[in-house]
Homo-oligomer: A and B are copies of this chain.
Amino acid sequence: MKRVHNFSAGPAVLPLEVLKKAQEELPSYGDTGTSIMEQSHRGKAYSQIDAEAKERLNRILGLDDKFHILFLQGGASQQFMQVPYNLLGDDETADYIDTGRWSAKAITEAEIFGKVHVPFSSADDNYTHVPTSADQLDLTEGAKYVHITSNNTVVGTQLPTEPETNGVPLVCDASSDFLSRPIDVDKYGIIYAGAQKNLGPAGVTVVLVNKEFIKGQADRDIPTLLDYTTHTEKIFNTPPTFAVYMVNLVLEWVEEKGGLDYFQKVNNQKAELLYSTIDSDDFYRGTAKLDSRSKMNVTFRLPSEELEAQFLAEAAKHDLVALKGHRSVGGVRASIYNACPMESVQALVDFMKQFRSENG
């Protein structure tokens, strides 16, 4: 079985242990004689998977039962509209911090439902930096919530920590750094994350809804499926059962490895190894500003587009794949989520040094 070093920005690499277990169990789950894909979402096996995954998230993040844990469909793109549909009344204001392409999309959808104020934007700076201190934020007093994108995959920036909002709940698109480090859950009204970067395959979105925050639902006629409260008490419609099964396996792996403290440490080490290689001279140039660099998506340029194309082609020959930067940025992007092993980062660094010595 051939396996390569996979730096895809998403859908992204999964733990090999998880893939192997899924492979083994695929045609017959446990002693059921049917694939988990072929079983009712109200049956015993799936109900247990659903409950296990939720207990694991509760433990890993320290949610302390303060959140409804929902496995929804539609990705972060659905949450861009589902959040304001549920929570932003016509006359209410939400603050949206604009740190990239995905933040901007969230803003577009929120404007359909209520008032949006943008207390910070790095659009004029090609989104190469994020706010790193409170005085950069022009927050609205009494805002319903402050929306943040904790990590920005395109340019490769990441909020160093939760911004200070003076008690206004955060709503966070955490798709690309979910479970990569500890967070202060009490600051959040909603945390949502498409699974396909740090958590599992595409097709399921984890949505954590603070039980207090949801009490402030907007007074609006909302389709049943989009109403968060439809999903808080029971499984309403058929969930993406196989995707949730995979998420549960990944969560098991996260706990076995040592939880968020472990991943924060290893993710820091992986990022440090890459960034120090980039910074060691001026052949490679990091795309993001130093204080805004992401631990998940490491972006850099080479001296010319020709060298970048050559870099990507030679990297592929060394089984280092999916390194091409987002089309709007160019260059190289190495996505090094939780499941990207240190060995892959080391192989990339070795190749980078060799490439520089041959072409620098």
- Which A residues contact B (CB, under 8 angstroms)? 1-4, 6, 8-14, 16, 19-20, 22-23, 26-28, 31-35, 37-41, 43, 73-78, 80-81, 85, 105, 108-109, 112, 194, 196, 201-204, 221, 223-226, 236-243, 246, 319, 321-322
Bound-state Cα–Cα, A41 to B221, Å: 34
Q: Within the assembled complex, what's the spacing in Å between the Cα atoms of A226 and B74?
A: 10
Q: What residues of B have a CB within 8 angstroms of the CB of A73 in the complex? A: 73-75, 78, 203, 240
Closest chain-B Cβ to A319's Cβ sits at a distance in Å of: 7
User: Cβ of A13 and Cβ of B1 under 8 Å apart?
Assistant: no
Q: Which residue of B lies closest to A203 (CB)?
A: B240
Name A28's contact: one of B3, B35, B224, B242 (CB within 8 Å).
Answer: B3
A41 — which chain B residues lie within 8 A by C-beta? Answer: 11, 202
A-B contact pairs, 6 of them (CB 8 A): A2-B31, A3-B28, A10-B238, A74-B237, A80-B224, A240-B240
- Determine the distance from Cα of A9 to Cα of B41 in the docked complex, in whole angstroms: 10
Q: Is the interface of A mostly helix, strand, loop or mixed?
A: loop
Interchain CB contact (< 8 A) of A236 among B26, B77, B243 = B77
Q: How far is the CB of A18 from chain B (nearest CB, A)?
A: 10
User: Are B14 and A35 closer than 8 Å at their CB atoms?
Assistant: yes
Q: Once the chains bind, are B203 and A34 in contact (CB under 8 Å)?
A: no
Contact A221–B112 (Cβ < 8 Å) = yes
C-alpha spacing A239/B76, complex, angstroms = 11
A75: chain B residues within 8 A (beta carbon): 73, 237-238
Complex formed: what's the CA distance from A41 to B197 in Å?
12
Kindly provide the distance from the CB of A33 to the nearest chain B CB, expressed in whole angstroms: 3
> Bound complex: CA of A89 vs CA of B75, how far in Å?
27
Q: Are B11 and A27 in contact (CB under 8 A)?
A: no
A225 contact from B10, B74, B319, Cβ within 8 A = B74
Q: Which residues of B contact A226 (CB under 8 A)?
A: 81
Whether A2 contacts B33 by the Cβ 8 Å rule is yes
**From B33, B43, B105, B196, contact of A238 by CB (8 A):** B196
Measured between beta carbons, the chain B residues less than 8 angstroms from A81 are: 223-226
Q: Which residues of B contact A194 (CB under 8 A)?
A: 238
Are B242 and A321 in contact, CB atoms less than 8 angstroms apart?
Answer: no
Known: A223-B112, A242-B202. A37 touches B14 (CB 8 A): yes
A19, B8: Cβ atoms closer than 8 Å: no
Known A77-B236, A225-B81, A238-B202: A28·B2 in contact at CB below 8 Å = yes
